Amino acid sequence: MAQETRLENEAAQSTNALGPLIGVAREDFVGAVALLLRETASDPKRLMRHAKEMGEDMVKIMTGKSELAPDPKDKRFMDPAWQYNPFFRAGAQYYLAVQKGMRNWLEELELDELERNRANFIANIIIDGLAPTNTLAGNPVAQKQLINSGGLSLIKGLQNAYNDMVHNKGMVSQVDKRPFKLGENIATSKGSVVLRTEMMELVHYAPTTDEVYEIPQLTIPPQINKMYINDLSPDKSVVKYQLDNGIQTFVISWRNPSKEQGVWGMDDYIRSCEEAIEAVSKITGSKKVNVSAGCSGGQTASVLASKLAAEKSDLLGTLTLMVCVLHPKPTDIEAASLVSENGMALARKRAEKAGVIKADDLARGFAWLRPNDLIWNYVINNYLLGMDPPAFDVLFWNADATNLSASLMGDFLTLFETLAFTKKGEVEMAGHKIDLSKVKSDMFILGGVTDHITPWKATYRSTELFGSKDITYVLSQSGHMQAILNPPGNPKAKYYVQKKKGKLPATADEWLQGTEEVAGSWWPFWIEWMQKRSGDKKPAPKEVGNAEYEPLDPAPGLYVVEER
C-alpha cells in the first residue's frame, strides 16, 4: 500500500503539460550530450584528476573502507539490505561513486547557467538509468518478492512487460485503468452538452442549490488533456464544489484532433472560446462571464482576454489562472534548457508533416524528461516486483491524453519564443495584437509550491502583465495538478496569501515575505472570492440550456470518449 501511495504522489506531480518542452527535438538531446563531450575533451588534466578521484573511491569500496551512503530520503535505497548486505552495500556505493564523480566534474566545467542546467539535466537522466535498483540483480526488494512469491512475481512482471509492448506501445504503464468508467465512478456530475461544434462541446452542469449567482463561470481546459480533470470524483471535483456553492458552471470539452484537423490553430481555438462564452451569456442571461483556466488553458484564456479587450467587449468578468506560466524563462526548469531555436524549428517541421503530435508520443517524450518518477519507478513496480500500477484517478485522466494539432503547437511555440504576453501589441495572434495591459478584469492566480512543470515563481510573473487593479495570488502547498485538486478535508492542506490587501509586490520573493500560512484547502478562499464577483443570487434554473441551446448528450459529453 505504501508503494502504491508513493507512486501515486510522485506521478501526480508530473502530469503531461503543454509548454516550451513540446519544442524539444531529439537533436537537442544530442547537442546536450555533445556539449558534455566537448567540455570533457577541452581539459584532459581535469578529466584525469576526476578519474583518479573516482578510482580512489572504487578502491575504498573494494576494501570495505568507503563511507559513501545513500541519502536517507532516497526511496530507492530504503531497504535494510543496502546497509547490512555487503553485496548490495557495495553496489549502492559504486553507483554513488559514479554519481559523486559526475557531480564534482560538472561543477568544474566552465559553463553559463543555461549550459549548466542542460548538462545537469542530461547527466541526471544518465545517472538515474544506471541505478542498481532498476535491475533484478541489483534490487533486494525485488529479489525478496521473487522468493516470497515462489517465482510468481517474475512471471507477473514478464506478463506486464508483454502487455505494455503489445497494448501500450512499449511504454511502461503508470496506471491501472480497469476500475474507472466515465460517467459511472469518474466525471459523474449531472449536466448536458448544450453546444457542439467540430472543435468543441460546451457542457452545462445542473445546479445543486435552490439559488445561484447571476454571473456564471466558464472553464477553459488544456488542449492535450480531457476536461474531466475538473470533475474526477465527488470528493475531488471542482465542478461539484462550484455547483454546491451556487456557481453556474460551464466547461469546454475540446475534441481530440485527427491528422486532418491538425490545421486547428490558436485563432480557431479562440473563436471557439468566443462562441462558448457568448452561449453561456445567452443561456444564463448574464452580461458577464467569469473565466477559469489552468496550464495551457490559461495561455488560451489569456489570448481570449486580450482579444476581448481589443474588441472593447465587456463580456469577460473575472479571470482565474491556475498553474500557468505566461512569462517563461529558460532557467525556470532544467528541462527547458534543452530548448533551442534549431530544435523548435525541427519540431515544427515534423509536426506539420505529421499533421498532429500523437498523444502517446507526447506522453513518451514527457516521461523521459522525468525518467525516475515516470519510468524507472514503474519498471521496478510493474516488472521487477510484478505488481499492478496504482488505480489512481489523476493518473487515469493523465493517461487519457489527446493529440496536439501541429498548428496549435506552432502557436504555443511562438508565444514562448516571442514572449508575446510580456509585449504590448507587438505579437499578432488570433486576429489581434496581444496586449494583456488592456485586460482590466479582477484576477485570481494560483501557483504550486512543488510544481516542477510550471514553477510557482514563474506563475507569479503573470501578476505584472495585466492591467488589472485587483489581483489575488495564492500559493498552494502541492505540485502542478495536485495544487489544483486540493479539496477541503485534506489534513495536510495549506496555502499562502498576502497578509495585507493592496498591490502585489513586483517579485515572488518579496511577496513570500509578506504572506501568511493558512491551514486547509484554498478552495473555500477562492469560492468566496468568486461569489463576491458573481452578482446577486437568483432562483436556480430548472433545466440546463435553453430554447436556443437545447440539451444534447449527458455530461461529460461525447468528445471525451471519442477515440482517435
Of 311, 325, 307, residue with least CA distance to 433: 307
Of 460, 215, 523, 224, residue with least CA distance to 323: 460
Q: What is the rounded CA–CA span in Å between residue 542 and residue 409?
A: 41
Q: Which position has the grid cell 576494501?
A: 63
Handedness of CA 47, 92, 126, 453 (dihedral sign): negative
Q: What is the rounded CA–CA span in Å between residue 154 and residue 4?
A: 19
Q: What is the rounded CA–CA span in Å between residue 208 and residue 563?
A: 31
Q: What is the rounded CA–CA span in Å between residue 51 and residue 102?
A: 10
Q: What is the rounded CA–CA span in Å between residue 194 and residue 267?
A: 23
Interacting residues of 330 by C-beta distance below 8 A, sequence separation 6+ = 114, 117, 336, 337, 339
Long-range CB contact pairs, 544-547, < 8 A, 24+: 544/191, 544/192, 544/194, 544/204, 544/205, 544/206, 545/192, 545/194, 545/204, 545/283, 546/282, 546/283
Catalytic residue from among 295, 335, 384, 485 = 295
Q: Which position has the grid cell 530548448?
A: 339
Of 253, 278, 269, 249, residue with least CA distance to 557: 253
Q: How many CB atoms lie within 10 A of CB 20?
A: 21
Q: What is the rounded CA–CA span in Å between residue 355 and residue 257?
A: 9
Query: Hey, is 131 helix, strand or coil?
Result: coil
Of 105, 92, 74, residue with least CA distance to 6: 74
Q: What is the rounded CA–CA span in Å between residue 98 and residue 61?
A: 12
Radius of gyration of the chain from Cα atoms?
Answer: 25
Interacting residues of 419 by C-beta distance below 8 A, sequence separation 6+ = 327, 328
Query: Hey, is 554 helix, strand or coil?
Result: strand
Q: What share of the chain is helix, strand, coil (3-state, %, to 5)?
A: 50, 15, 35
**Is there a catalytic annotation at residue 295?**
yes
Q: What is the rounded CA–CA span in Å between residue 82 and residue 84?
A: 6
Angle at 193 between CA 191 and CA 198, to 5 degrees: 160
Task: Say what angle helices 406-418 and 341-354 make with each other, to 10 degrees.
Answer: 160
Which residues are annotated as catalytic? 295
